[in-house]
Homo-oligomer: A and B are copies of this chain.
Amino acid sequence: MTHKPTLAVVGATGAVGRVMLQILSQHADVWGEIRLLSSRRTAGTTLAVRGEQVTVVTLCEEALEGVDVALFDVPDEVAAQWAPVAVAKGAVVVDNSAAFRMAEGVPLVVPEVNPHAVRARQRGIVASPNCTTLSMIVALGALHAEFGLTELVVSSYQAASGAGQAGVDTLRAQLSLLAAEPDAGTAPGGVRRAVGDGLGPFPAPLALNVVPWVGSVRDGGWSSEELKIRNESRKILGLPDLRVTATCVRVPVISTHSASVHARFESEVSVERAHEILATAPGVVLFDDPGSGDFPTPADVVGTDPTWVGRVRRSLDDPQGLELFVCGDNLRKGSALNTVQIGELVASEPAAS
């Protein structure tokens, strides 16, 4: 672009929107004006970006005038309504909702994996994947480039903040209630009695528990979150027939999603070569020496940008199989960071000048 492009952050006052502003303040500044938009309810708030205080304005047609790139982090139905409006005004929309991810003509982009796809947009919209897919796909993309991925079996360990601030508040409130009940957690029904009706966005108590359900009910007993992992991994990697199966589980962690991944490849694999690939892959940190206590955990990964990978093993009964444990901060690479990275990729396109 010949001028510094104008950026709109739509949903600036939400948990992910606020992380976007932090990241925009930390990254090399490619933007001209940065405009902050939100629903009428939170408009008027003042937020800091690039060291300046900016007042948030209500999302409306007028507020989208002159915008070159709009980063959307809003509910699916708001994105479905407003992204086409922004496109009609001439903006490229980078959408972090699920509204357009699987739509024809809308690329689903992870800049480390398929940056070229950003150019193929036909509808002026580029989608950013689900946070759970994003917690693992950068590492898997790097391994796929070398070995050729054929199958994924994923079990997730998803943090409370994936359910928004309400999820975080609920987990903290439950932990406070349980702190006063030394026998909860060992007595049958003790956790449920202690937390009472305070389940927040979760279908069961989360503190001192794990909850094998994330999302809404789909055919065959699947959750929407599990199908997202399958569909989005296929689209990002350009492998429409990739065998993918996932079980999504919420765990009592504030932020950072983890996943245990069994991956099969077209060719034989070795831990040594996998280590070489992961140690040099952009956006990946290899942290894999259990004898020294080196494996990724959410407590160590939270607040960082990369996908952390450890516990790399070759399947004992399958020379084409690898086991991995990956962690990624669901509020950073899992949503805000990937969205900002796509925006920067769009801004750097010569064709957009």
Residues of A within 8 A of B (CB): 151, 153, 155, 157, 161, 168, 172, 175-176, 178-179, 182, 185-192, 203-205, 208-213, 217, 220-223, 230, 243-245, 247, 249, 251-255, 258, 260, 262, 271, 288, 290-291, 293, 295-300, 302-304, 310-318, 321, 323, 325
Max count, chain B CB within 10 A of own CB: residue among A182, A192, A325? A325
Partner of A254, one of B185, B230, B323: B185
Report B-chain residues with C-beta under 8 Å of the C-beta of A318.
243, 245
- Shortest A198–chain B CB gap in Å is 13
Question: Given the complex of chains A and B, what is the CA–CA distance between A291 and B221 in angstroms?
Answer: 9
Known: A213-B295, A299-B192. A312 touches B221 (CB 8 A): yes
Report B-chain residues with C-beta under 8 Å of the C-beta of A251.
157, 210, 251-252
Question: Given the complex of chains A and B, what is the CA–CA distance between A316 and B318 in angstroms?
Answer: 22
Report B-chain residues with C-beta under 8 Å of the C-beta of A249.
157, 258, 260, 325
Is B258 a contact partner of A212 (Cβ separation < 8 A)? yes
Is A209 a contact partner of B299 (Cβ separation < 8 A)? yes
Partner of A179, one of B179, B213, B230, B315: B179
- Shortest A263–chain B CB gap in Å is 11
- Shortest A63–chain B CB gap in Å is 30
Is A252 a contact partner of B208 (Cβ separation < 8 A)? yes
Question: Who on chain B is nearest to A298 by CB?
Answer: B209
Known: A203-B293, A221-B288, A302-B187. A253 touches B176 (CB 8 A): no
Question: Given the complex of chains A and B, what is the CA–CA distance between A172 and B186 in angstroms?
Answer: 12
Question: Given the complex of chains A and B, what is the CA–CA distance between A309 and B176 in angstroms?
Answer: 30
Is A297 a contact partner of B244 (Cβ separation < 8 A)? no
Is B291 a contact partner of A222 (Cβ separation < 8 A)? no
- Known contacts A185-B254, A186-B302, A212-B260; 4 additional CB pairs below 8 A are A155-B155, A161-B186, A175-B175, A204-B293
Question: Given the complex of chains A and B, what is the CA–CA distance between A211 and B157 in angstroms?
Answer: 11
Question: Who on chain B is nearest to A302 by CB?
Answer: B188
Is A220 a contact partner of B299 (Cβ separation < 8 A)? no
Known: A249-B260, A251-B251, A313-B220. A300 touches B212 (CB 8 A): no
Known: A299-B205, A302-B185, A303-B186. A247 touches B210 (CB 8 A): no
Is B317 a contact partner of A186 (Cβ separation < 8 A)? no
Report B-chain residues with C-beta under 8 Å of the C-beta of A245.
262, 315-318, 321, 323
Partner of A253, one of B208, B271, B315: B208
